[in-house]
Amino acid sequence: MPDNKIITDREEMLEAVKNDGCALEYASDSLKADREVVLEAVKNNGFTLQYADDSLKADSEVVLEAVKDNVDQVNGGALEYADNTLWVDREFVLEVVKMSGNVLRYVDGSLKADREVVLEAVKNNVYALEYASDILKADRELVLEAVKNDGSALQYADDTLKADHEVVLEAVKSRGDSLRYASEELQND
């Protein structure tokens, strides 16, 4: 905004954020809490979530819209401004890990043990296996899914699976140097 004045007119602000989401910075507090205004702003520029009222930073629809184009930029990205309560919201987390499996590192521990959440994360990024619960790191089917896509995911698997001939074979098929993560016994086989 040219003169950095606070805008209180809703229609004027809606037009401004449609053209430049960063205009939300100059909205009155009531407009920063207006869901429609904030949705338009984050559609234009996800980083403008930082200017939204805290209540909207906990709104999963608003945050998902904000992170669509920059979900991998958790540090310094729009997710940085999301309310922490969203990391325990299973439906929100499922949507976000489908966009970027790496965000599994930020979710509540209970969801790191949720097979569906972890499977979706691993489908998106095999390295998300690193952040799964120990129980799921020992889940043969889940680990097979990961190593078939990138054998180096074997490094995050439970030791029992690092000694599993089929799992290691699949890992090596997709990435030959992943043998180094296999059990000593299989490395010498």
Collapse the DSSP code of 58 into the 3-class scheme (helix H, G, I; strand E, B; otherwise coil) and give the result: coil
Residue 105 identity (one-letter amino acid): R
**The tokens of 23 are what?**
């205009």
pLDDT digits (tens, 9 = 90+) for 15-51: 999 999 999 999 999 999 999 999 999 999 999 999 9
* Contact by Cβ (8 Å): 143, 161: yes
pLDDT at residue number 78: 85
Phi (first) and psi of residue 55, to 5 degrees: -60, -35
pLDDT at residue number 100: 87
Residue 189 identity (one-letter amino acid): D
Residue 9: alpha-carbon gap to chain centroid: 35
* Contact by Cβ (8 Å): 71, 98: no
pLDDT at residue number 35: 98
pLDDT at residue number 71: 63
pLDDT at residue number 76: 47
pLDDT at residue number 177: 95
Neighbours of 176 (CB within 10 A): 10
Residues of the chain with pLDDT under 70: 1-3, 69, 71-76
Residue 76 identity (one-letter amino acid): G
| CA–CA distance, 135 with 53 (Å, rounded to integer) | 38
Q: Residue written as tokens 């995911």? A: 153
Return the bridge partners of 7, or none. 27
pLDDT at residue number 73: 58
Neighbours of 44 (CB within 10 A): 18
Instruction: Name the pTM for this structure.
Output: 0.83
* Contact by Cβ (8 Å): 82, 76: no
Give CA angle at 152 (142, 185), nearest 5°: 90
